[in-house]
Each structure stands twice: as C-alpha cells, then as structure tokens.
Amino acid sequence: MKPLFLENELPVDDLVRIGLWKEGRATLSPDDLRAMLAGRRTGLVTLENVQADGFLIKQLDVKLSLNRSDSGWISLQAHPIHHEIQSHPLLTEKDKKLLTEGKVASIGKTVEDPNGRAQHLIFEYDAETKEFISYIPTKVQAPERVNGELLTEEQKKAFQSGELVELSDGTSFQHRASEPNGILSDRIALVVSVLMDGGISYLLLRGLRNLLSNKEPQKDEYTAGFKMALSAMERQQAQKDLPNLSMQAPEYGRTRSR
C-alpha cells in the first residue's frame, strides 16, 4: 500500500515560500514528513519571516498538511494556533461540545460530498490549533500487526474510525489524524507492522502521546510482544543491510577475520 502522497509530489514552491525546502529536499523532521505523506498533520512547526496578507510575521507556529484537489493539484495547508475554537459547518453544537470536552475522541457522520454523493467522514478536535478536522476512514492505512499481534478485520476498521483498539496484552491505542504518528496509546512506544508494496515493513513509534488522562501514566512499553516485534524489525533491517555489506570491496593486503 502506498501513502496518500509521494515525496516527489511535494509542492516545492509552497515549501520554498515558507523556508522549508533546502538543497533539493524538505527540511522537516522524518516524523513530520511521514505524517504529511500519510495525509495527517505535522506537529507544530515554527516558521520564521513569513509574508502573509502583506505583513511580515517574524515567527509563526503552525501545523502543516497536504491537500489534493479533485483535479489532482497538491497544495500545502497551514493550520495556525487559533485563540478561539473554530466552527465547522457539518457539526452540531452537541457534536462540538462532545469533542472539545473530550467526552468522545471522534464522531462519525455520513454527509453529502460536493458531487451530491454520500460520504462517511470521521471528525476530531485538534486542541492545539482549536480546529475540527475530518478524514475519510477508508483512506487510513491500518496496521497489520501491533507489537507482533495480528489485528482482526474488525480491529482494523475500528482503528480507521478512530475507535479504541485493545491487544491481548492490555495495550490500548487509537488512530488520531491530528497526531504526527497517527496514534495515541497507553504505552509510550509501539512496534507497528504495515503492508507496503514491497511486503511487510516495521515502524518503531516512540514518544506517543497518552490516550489516558494526565493522572494515569503510560504503562511500560517493553511487553513480551513489543520485544519480539522489535527483534523482528532489527532482523529485517540487518537483512536489508547485507547486500550493501557484500558490495564493499575488501582492503588490499588484508584478510577478513571471522
């Protein structure tokens, strides 16, 4: 499965304009770049000396995301920090209250798209920017495994819809489009296996934000499943590195010791 956006599709002119393109590449962190390509928002990024509406803004903290228009045009979207909660035309006052007060993590709604077709959307609240955001759940790539445990089809659908998913070892997590890694968890790190075009790939996600209340600390991430999945990831990486090692020419006049 490919990400929603490819790196060679990045809107270079937009990134140059805000000072995030240098020497032929985006100057974002790997986590933020991966978030953008997956269709999520980055973490807060500090922009300096930004021209906006004829004014020079010395410093601005924003989240960034990519948008693909119906015609295929890709543009960079900036999400600044608002002083007040922003409204959303597709949410009722009750919906907004539930989301802003944290009584629910997300709300699913079937709405009419610009072409008059029914479309199911998941809505979240981004407390950092004070905005409501939405996404199409079927476009979210659900993990194949988390900490080595194979997810059922029901768990994958729950993840795509922002619902809580629990593993047999007690680990809990859920998808959040407003998070750069796309996941909140009751553990600070997870090993996630995703299906890519070249097969299964492993991702070690560290520094995950807590889905529990601030009064409840995150649990120890080093479960048996986490350690086994981490070992499998390290073995896969070692196998990928083997061809590179074999291509290195030996030094003349020396033999390799075993």
The model's pLDDT over 61-82, given as tens digits with 9 standing for 90+, comes to 999 999 998 888 999 999 999 9
Strand ranges, E, within 137-235: 145-146, 149-150, 165-166, 172-175, 183-185, 190-196, 199-205, 209-210
For residue 199, the model assigns a pLDDT of 77
- State how far the alpha carbon of 118 is from the alpha carbons of 73, 91, 114, 139, in Å: 23, 16, 10, 16
DSSP 43: S
pLDDT score at 49: 79
**Mean of pLDDT over the chain:** 87
> Helix, strand or coil for residue 121?
strand
pLDDT of res. 48: 86
CB 115 within 8 A of CB 163: no
According to the model, what pLDDT value does residue 253 have? 40
User: Residues in the chain with pLDDT < 70?
Assistant: 1-2, 52-55, 198, 213-215, 242-258
Please report the pLDDT score of residue 242 as a whole number: 67
pTM score: 0.81
Q: Are strands 165-166 and 209-210 parallel, antiparallel or unpaired?
A: unpaired
From CA 40, how far away is CA 30, in angstroms rounded? 13
Choose among 77, 78, 75: nearest CA to 9. Answer: 75
Q: How far is CA 175 from CA 57, 125, 135, 140, 204, in A?
A: 34, 13, 11, 9, 16
